[in-house]
Structure 1
């Protein structure tokens, strides 16, 4: 019976030792899990901040794109004003030629008034062109800076 008691005692001691070792292992595993969970939370938080930055950057790009479209619309409008003004210039030239043939004084007064209107319209168009040009230069400078910055992104 003493052999049996010895075997039983050794077996119990081994199981007890394994239980203590397992408890130590489990504690270490739990500690690693907690550290990993904390790291995952930090990563998720960092990703959320990155996504917010991306959304704000895309919103800024959308505003820039809208500004470019608005500038394009200004160019189209100004082109139409130029065409109308050029058409008026051609008709005014034809009226001058007709007046030179007739020599009528009332026609001359009418031509002078039309020419004064033409000159005022031309001055307003020149001012508008300067504004469009300045807007374009500002926009183009910003776009060039953006292009340089984007080239550095990988």
Structure 2
């Protein structure tokens, strides 16, 4: 990225911002050498998937209700057809974070990175059948306030 690109990044603050993040990330993921075949095998209906994930991240980061479902359990049928490896989780997370960094700066963008890291770890544990205590629960932002956050804490 150029210095100008870096300077033009903004806060991740609105539903439109989240939709830009989700659309951009999944464009990269769908074309990715490792992740693309998983999406292809899952026969993802992109408009519905983008809408659902925009709802999910709007809830997680902005406290905007609208998402219904269980994001972890939703991946079980896909994992059954195309098992996820550690490389899949790592690539998903790397792409997500690099997409965030490409477009956004600020506290909510940093929180999104923490939440994505926790989601990837929780999904991996579920798909591999790992049990035991998770490092911390995934909580939606509305359960907390933004003031005083370091970005790596989880509300209790």
TM bucket, shorter chain: under 0.3
Q: Which has the higher helix share?
A: 1
The TM-score normalised by the length of structure 1 is 0.25
Work out which of the two has the higher radius of gyration on C-alpha atoms and give 1 or 2: 1
> Which protein has greater RCO, CA pairs closer than 8 Å, 6+ apart?
2
The TM-score normalised by the length of structure 2 is 0.25
